[in-house]
Chains A and B, each alone.
Chain A
Amino acid sequence: EPEVTQTPSHQVTQMGQEVILRCVPISNHLYFYWYRQILGQKVEFLVSFYNNEISEKSEIFDDQFSVERPDGSNFTLKIRSTKLEDSAMYFCASSGKRGAPYNEQFFGPGTRLTVL
């Protein structure tokens, strides 16, 4: 069964460094998302992406964040200058296979980002 994959599974970085989190959505899905979950808290929406542009973003998704679909398969989240409070689990999701019910969002396994 197709699945969303994410790399790396765990990323440790120093405060102020740039990080890129990578995701490979399910092939032929049309919509892509990033969510984050700070340890012990709820999952929060960051951004959605459709037709090669951002379609919606939350207040969390400030100028330090950017997303890109560089090659038609990968979907990346870049944090330009990481802060301690960016430490969280980051989930990628995709949805929108034509004809699929519910437009179900399929989640990847997550990338745990630790900012020191």
Chain B
Amino acid sequence: AQTVTQSQPEMSVQEAETVTLSCTYDTSENNYYLFWYKQPPSRQMILVIRQEAYKQQNATENRFSVNFQKAAKSFSLKISDSQLGDTAMYFCAFRGLVSGNTPLVFGKGTRLSVIA
């Protein structure tokens, strides 16, 4: 079974600074997807960024980028120019490609606080 580990329960960053959230996972599959979800106080789950395992190029979405190290099974999220609105829980998630509706496996999350 796949597992996702986020080793940082809480982090804080000054506004406009850069922060990196860590995620490691364990799987025997070769092709899969990785995701970062943001959960603000409203509790809505919002997709931040995704990465396909067969793509070597790291995904980037505006201020959000990932460092995907497939051999190390590591998938960290970098937030540049942090904004107060980035304050939220961040969940790393894994999805295999066994079938079209393989469920997501989530890590325990990292609570990020952006400080003015």
Band of interface residues on A: 20 to 34
Decide if A42 touches B33 in the complex (CB within 8 Å): no
What is the CA–CA distance of A7 and B94 in the complex, to the nearest angstrom?
Answer: 27
User: Quick one: given A42-B108, A43-B91, are A33 and B101 in contact (CB under 8 Å)?
Assistant: yes
Determine whether A45 belongs to the interface, using a CB cutoff of 8 Å to chain B.
Answer: yes
Interface of A: prevailing SS: strand
Pick from B37, B46, B50, B101: contact of A48, CB below 8 A. B101
User: Quick one: given A43-B91, A102-B52, are A95 and B101 in contact (CB under 8 Å)?
Assistant: yes
What is the CA–CA distance of A110 and B105 in the complex, to the nearest angstrom?
Answer: 18
Decide if A56 touches B101 in the complex (CB within 8 Å): yes
What is the CA–CA distance of A67 and B22 in the complex, to the nearest angstrom?
Answer: 35
Please name all residues of chain A whose beta carbon is closer than 8 Å to the beta carbon of B105 when the two chains form the complex: 45
What is the CA–CA distance of A44 and B42 in the complex, to the nearest angstrom?
Answer: 18
Decide if B107 touches A42 in the complex (CB within 8 Å): yes
Pick from A30, A55, A105, A112: contact of B104, CB below 8 A. A105
Q: B56 to nearest A CB, angstroms? A: 17
Please name all residues of chain A whose beta carbon is closer than 8 Å to the beta carbon of B33 when the two chains form the complex: 102
Residue of B nearest to A89 (CB): B43
Please name all residues of chain A whose beta carbon is closer than 8 Å to the beta carbon of B100 when the two chains form the complex: 30-31, 50, 95-96, 103
Determine whether B44 belongs to the interface, using a CB cutoff of 8 Å to chain A.
Answer: yes
Pick from A102, A109, A110: contact of B50, CB below 8 A. A102
Decide if B91 touches A42 in the complex (CB within 8 Å): yes
Determine whether A107 belongs to the interface, using a CB cutoff of 8 Å to chain B.
Answer: yes
Q: B24 to nearest A CB, angstroms? A: 15
What is the CA–CA distance of A33 and B99 in the complex, to the nearest angstrom?
Answer: 14
Decide if A44 touches B101 in the complex (CB within 8 Å): no
Determine whether A18 belongs to the interface, using a CB cutoff of 8 Å to chain B.
Answer: no
User: Quick one: given A42-B91, A42-B107, A56-B103, are A104 and B47 in contact (CB under 8 Å)?
Assistant: yes
Decide if B44 touches A110 in the complex (CB within 8 Å): yes
Q: B101 to nearest A CB, angstroms? A: 4
What is the CA–CA distance of A69 and B113 in the complex, to the nearest angstrom?
Answer: 39
Please name all residues of chain A whose beta carbon is closer than 8 Å to the beta carbon of B108 when the two chains form the complex: 41-42
Question: Chain A residues in contact with chain B, CB under 8 A?
Answer: 30-31, 33, 35, 37, 41-45, 48, 50, 55-56, 58, 89, 91, 93, 95-96, 102-107, 109-110, 112
